[in-house]
Amino acid sequence: MEKWQDPETLALWFGIVIVFVLLLVTSIIILVRINYEKMLARSKEEAATQLMHQRELLETNIQIQEKERDRIAADLHDSLIGKLTVIRLKSQMEGDKDEIDEMMGETIVEARRITHDLSPPLIEHTSICDILTALIAPWSATYEITNQLDIRDEFELSPRTKIQLTRIFQEVITNITKHAEATQIIFHIRQTKGLLALKLSDNGKGIDVDKMKHGLGLKSIESRVQYINAKYKVRSKPMHMTSFLFLIPQE
């Protein structure tokens, strides 16, 4: 009988194989458990980060609402109430009727501006392209405006989404006028099946996106974008142009 056929030798090799298999299985189980624990820890960390981010956006949203309330209150107090008070005094003193009539007209125009800021007129029956084009039109006196409208498959957005896009648009324009030192604004809308793409670019000095992320303006934009279930990207470098891209799905 060959030595390897000896029962004791076979039993020894069988035992070695069993131990090796057990060690292999144990090692696999340990590795799987370690990876699972790492994945679980990573998931918890991501959830905590996401929760913190959502809290920051909620706080930002509250700050934005308070800021808008303060602005509206200031408009009402400094503009409308002030003019109405002057009109009342002139009326009591039997002032010039033509002057009073002119001031009344200015007050009506101011009231319309404030209500337009709160909610654009006929928003339900006006396309988002027309709303944004009308918003940017007055800036043609200050900037070279380039409009690019590419409507391939038109669909209607809800009034809620239109209002949020209007606020986002106004926020970006405000950033351009305050910080960009630009001379040109490129306004591009592309509407395809199920998706609206809105792009705003300027030829200004650019911004530091990392620093901008800590500001109220970009947090305001991000909060509104999340509210309408959209996505956005901002690309810029110091001394280069800045570009905002918004992708809005069909509702």
Question: Mean pLDDT throughout 131-138?
Answer: 86
Same domain, 106 and 162: no
- 236 and 141 assigned to the same domain: yes
Q: How many domains does the chain have?
A: 3
More confidently predicted of 128 and 78? 128
- Higher-pLDDT residue of 22 and 117 is 22
Mean pLDDT for 10-31 is 83
For the cut 90, the answer to whether the pLDDT of residue 189 exceeds it is yes
- Identify residue 90 by its one-letter amino acid code: K
Query: Are 74 and 150 part of one and the same domain?
Result: no
How much is the average pLDDT of 91-107? 78
Q: What pLDDT was estimated at residue 154?
A: 85
Out of 118, 136, 153, pick the residue that ends a domain. 118
- Helix and strand numbers (H, E) in the chain are 7, 5
Does residue 111 sit in the same domain as residue 202? Answer: no
Give the model's confidence band at 200: pLDDT under 50 very low, under 70 low, under 90 confident, else very high: very high
**Residue with the larger pLDDT of the pair 78 and 125:** 125
Average pLDDT, the chain: 81
Which CATH number fits the domain that encloses residue 198? Answer: 3.30.565.10
Question: Residue 143 in contact with residue 137, Cβ under 8 Å?
Answer: no
In terms of domains, do 136 and 227 share one? Answer: yes
Q: pLDDT > 70: what percent of the chain?
A: 80
Same structural domain, 93 and 184: no
Kindly list the strands in the beta sheet with 242-249, ordered across the sheet, starting from the edge strand earlier in the chain.
Answer: 144-151, 184-192, 195-202, 242-249, 231-236
Residues 137 and 240 in one domain: yes
pLDDT of residue 15: 78
pTM of the full structure = 0.58
| Residues 166 and 83 grouped into a single domain | no
Beta strand 144-151 with 184-192: parallel, antiparallel or unpaired? parallel
Let me know whether 44 and 140 are in one domain: no
**Residue 58 pLDDT grade (very low, low, confident, very high; cuts 50, 70, 90):** low
Q: 52: buried, middle or exposed (CB in 10 Å: 19+, 13-18, 0-12)?
A: exposed
Mean pLDDT check: name the lowest of 78-87, 136-145, 146-155, 169-178: 78-87
Which residues, in sequence order, are CB contacts of 73 under 8 Å at separation 6+? none
Q: What is the pLDDT of residue 185?
A: 92
Asked if residue 248 has pLDDT above 90, the reply is yes
pLDDT at 197 over 90: yes
Q: Is the pLDDT reported for residue 120 higher than 80?
A: no
Domain that holds residue 42: 3-48
Residue 116: its pLDDT value, please? 64
What digits encode the pLDDT tens for the residues 201-228?
A: 999 887 777 666 666 677 788 888 988 8
